[in-house]
Structure 1
């Protein structure tokens, strides 16, 4: 076991003490249900009611649209290379200094929210470490906790959990992929056969002493052992992270639940609640997607201090809601060297303006609204008309979120509906966005998908046909709601595109 501490800066907090009482101590955190929290935000925005979310069931009263002929977008999408004053962006300098900041501002104000200006610092501490083996790959595993400084509001504690896995036989610094998920030991060390035999003998003796009727049972079953040897490979096959390690990469499992709860009733807790001192959000405060991305940035802070890690090749990965978070993290933090966006759907890589499957009304419903800032609710509002915003008036769309990653490598991954990656996710809407983002990649001297700029009409590639020649990549595997079948392809592509010698 090892123990050490490392202080690292965060990115944000001002103090919001909305409704705080003038006492000698800070007010207790507000306790809302998700419905109460959403209602509070709607009241702030002057919204009386929300439009209902479409159902994934085709026989429901309000079914989602799956008719491609009316899916749209009915209008155009924002021009990623045109300034708000109408002038075209024709140079990298104009992109970095003018257009990209405009896009980032619109996303923060209208969709994902703003991270406060002075979030407390994070101190990373090693809790435990041990050597393990992932299949045939020996690795060193370290469990860490990132403690967020909370002296300004001790009522809320945020202790981020992360498990770092690094190849044991690497000859130099390795790339690392931050993966949103439970920060568990990937393959805990097991007792030797001799140790296991002693454990089983002691267990049987203890059970027989406690219940003598078990003694003849054990005597009649001399081969029975309470504990068996752990299999070399887990049931159902190894997880995708094993392919990362097998490719000579490290990975870090970052537990989003220890950063910010995935629920509206948690918005006055977690890192968002800590920075707001337990009070409800303002209309442009960050939602859970930005909070999880902030956590990934704090993990990156730590990883850049490890000599075993290639600081320029730290990536971020996620699937579904965590695919959205991975793309958001890479878009706003340019230190991420690359990103793998798995089955992210609307609010991630899929166009907001598409009327296909998952809808804006889905994202603004009580089940998912907490991923976004309050202002985004206006695009799902019903009444009054003065508070409602049509989605065509949203100043940004997902092709611009992808473009914010440029020229860094960005791999967009999906499965197929037949295997469980539901039509609801609108795979084609992400394809359209990726095609439309290509202009920025080319402007910055990188390679896009290589299919031109006709984002409306360019057909999607066949399943298992990857477009992997540039920094912007696409591949639809034949599996379900996972990026697992694309992990090996991703690692090979990333090594090639970044010039890593294996």
Structure 2
């Protein structure tokens, strides 16, 4: 069936309609956003207003977190599962003798199942306990840099339709995939600014397709189970869980056990970065890059990607309970400003791109703005008003934001802001 899809050209901001063979209707015209009412951030479920920081920390925060756990991303398993950790590589002369390269294999075993997660780090030489970025990658650790010593992932790798899949054959990475994501990981800049980088391939933790017989999930099934319960963890919670295991490695490593930790993710991994910041208080700063629907963007705006579209394309990302909110966003007891508020008082940064209408830049900004009252309870500064800032004019309050020129991706401009933001808040 053909449906009428309306899009907006950035040059004219005028709606242009065309008939496309797609099963989705979406809006990228700001004038077509219908009025919506956000759930109140500072009102308890019993109707009482939050009057103090204690009310927030002891009551309201827990109410909101429970909804995200049960109705959106899914509850993580209670059982602790510690891996065996093997150091498989260490070099003191990486990146032209400016960095230390380290690699680990984390092997998890339970229920007769085994999962191996590879962790890669580059740390600046001569820097004691550097601030470290934890950034999950999309195509395997070997894609981060063309260093021939990086282990190539053995896991399933997602292939994009109608797009180049350099170095990936039949969903497996090859030698040709080395360094293919290096633009997203400017190691020379990161190391040169005194930061370290830890990265992990998200597909090592859970392959990104709708099948719960692989990845980390089967290691936690109870007898008779072959998929998570209706309120159980989806892939985003699984990837966030994986990032907590990387943080375990950071804390176990003498070079970084006293480091401050910044988690950054792009797109679906931007959603993951925000959620990981909520579930793991060891994260000092969370950064969302172009995370869109169910990341930083307000769902009730129904702008660009919607709950229905994301549930149709990627039902494995969330708990099964979340499926009932397709086309029913107003029934969801939370919205994404509440997710950002759960990070308080720790710094959080939201980045949008002017041409990335699908991720709803205005909705991403507004989520930070409407999270601001919680930060103010701590005496922190959030975003100053409901209007988007000018392009390439960043805000570096405790809630940070920028709208850069260009489209969906991670650029040097983004990294410049992230490093400046981290130094501003973590060097104090």
1:237 Cα deviation after fit? 6.1
Number of equivalenced pairs: 380
Taking structure 1 as reference, are residues 290 and 189 closer, same or farther at Cα in structure 2, changes over 3 Å only?
closer
Tell me how far apart the structure 1 counterparts of residues 4 and 235 of structure 2 sit (CA, whole Å). 20
**Counterpart position of 1:179:** 135
Give the structure, 1 or 2, with the largest relative contact order (CA under 8 Å, sep 6 or more).
1
* Paired residue secondary structure (1:264): coil
The alpha-carbon distance between structure 1 residues 238 and 102, as it changes in their structure 2 partners (threshold 3 A), is: closer
> In the TM superposition, what whole-angstrom CA distance separates every residue of 1:175-221 from its partner, at most 9, and x where no partner exists?
1111111222735279xxxxxxxxxxxxxxxxxxxxxxxxxxxxxxx
Show the counterpart of 1:415.
353
Task: Judge which range, 61-70 or 348-357, deviates more.
Answer: 61-70
Give the C-alpha shift of residue 68 in structure 1.
1.3
Asked if 1:144 corresponds to 2:104, the answer is yes
* Cα separation, 1, equivalents of 2:357 and 2:124: 37
Counting only pairs closer than 5 Å after superposition, residues 67-78 of structure 1 correspond to structure 2 as 67-72=29-34, 74-78=35-39
Contact 2:263 2:285 in 1 (8 A): yes
1:79 matched to 2:25? The reply is: no
CA contact (8 A) 1:54 1:362 kept: no
What SS does structure 2 have at the residue aligned with 1:345?
coil
**After the TM superposition, which residues 308-387 of structure 1 pair with which residues of structure 2 at under 5 Å, given as runs?**
308-309=255-256, 311=258, 313-365=260-312, 367-380=313-326
CA 448–358 in structure 1, closer or farther in 2 if over 3 Å, else same: same
Residue aligning to 1:448: 382
Look up the match of 2:387.
459
1:122 CA drift (Å):
2.1
The corresponding residue for 1:425 is: 359
Conservation of the 8 A alpha-carbon contact between 2:237 and 2:272: yes
Residues 229-248 of structure 1 aligned to structure 2 (within 5 Å) = 239-248=185-194
Partners of 1:411 and 1:398 lie apart in 2 by 14
8 Å CA contact 1:146–1:160 kept in 2: the answer is: yes
Give the 3 Å change call, closer, same or farther, for CA 92–353 of structure 1 in structure 2: same
Please state whether the residue corresponding to 1:370 is helix, strand or coil.
helix
Tell me if 1:261 matches 2:220: no
Cα distance in structure 1, aligned partners of 2:115 and 2:18: 42
Measure how far apart 1:128 and its partner are.
1.1
Pair member with larger Rg: 1
Relative to structure 1, is the Cα distance of residues 241 and 393 closer, same or farther in structure 2, using a 3 angstrom cutoff? Answer: farther
Task: State the SS of the aligned residue for 1:435.
Answer: helix
User: Which runs of 5 or more residues in structure 1 are unaligned?
Assistant: 1-51, 191-232, 382-389, 453-457
> What is the rounded CA distance, in whole Å, between the counterparts of 1:327 and 1:163 in structure 2?
21
Tell me the TM-score normalized by structure 1. Answer: 0.71
Query: 1:394-413, aligned counterparts within 5 Å?
Result: 394-413=332-351
Tell whether 2:384 aligns with 1:438: no
Pairwise CA distance, 1:337? 0.5
For the pair 1:162 / 2:109, whether they are aligned, the reply is no
1:477 aligns with 2:422: no
Partner of 2:87: 126
Change (3 A) 1:368 1:93: same
**Residue 154 (structure 2) aligns with:** none
Match of 1:92 in 2: 53
CA distance in 1: counterparts of 2:6 and 2:33, whole angstroms: 16
What is the distance in 2 between the residues matched to 1:243 and 1:274? 38
User: Hey, what's the Cα distance between the residues in 2 that align with 1:101 and 1:427?
Assistant: 28
Unaligned runs of 5+ in 2: 8-16, 150-178
Shift of 1:91: 1.6
Contact residue 6 and residue 28 of structure 2 kept, 8 A: no
SS of residue matched to 1:364:
helix
Note closer, same or farther for the CA distance 1:54–1:271 as it changes in structure 2 (3 Å cut). farther
Residue 165 of structure 1: SS of its match in structure 2?
Answer: strand
In 1, the alpha carbon distance for the partners of 2:381 and 2:424 equals 13
Q: 3-state DSSP class of the match of 1:157?
A: strand
**In structure 2, C-alpha distance between the alignment counterparts of 1:371 and 1:311, rounded to whole Å:** 33
Alpha carbons of 1:259 and 1:488: their partners in 2 closer, same or farther (altered >3 Å)? Answer: same
The answer on whether the counterparts of 2:102 and 2:122 sit within 8 Å (CA) in structure 1 is yes
Residue 393 (str. 1) matches residue 355 (str. 2):
no
CA distance in 2 between partners of 1:83 and 1:445 (Å): 21
**Structure 2 CA distance for partners of 1:54 and 1:143, relative to 1, 3 Å:** farther
Separation (CA, whole Å) in 2 of partners of 1:54 and 1:253:
38
Deviation sequence 1:319-350 (CA, Å, 0-9, x none): 00000000110012111010111000001000
Q: Report how far residue 480 of structure 1 moved.
A: 2.5
Shift of 1:416: 2.2
* CA displacement at 1:133 relative to structure 2: 4.2
- Indicate the residue corresponding to 1:49 in structure 2: none
Following superposition, the deviation at residue 303 of structure 1 comes to 0.5
CA-CA distance at 1:479 after TM superposition: 3.1
Q: What is the root-mean-square deviation in Å for CA atoms of aligned residues?
A: 2.4
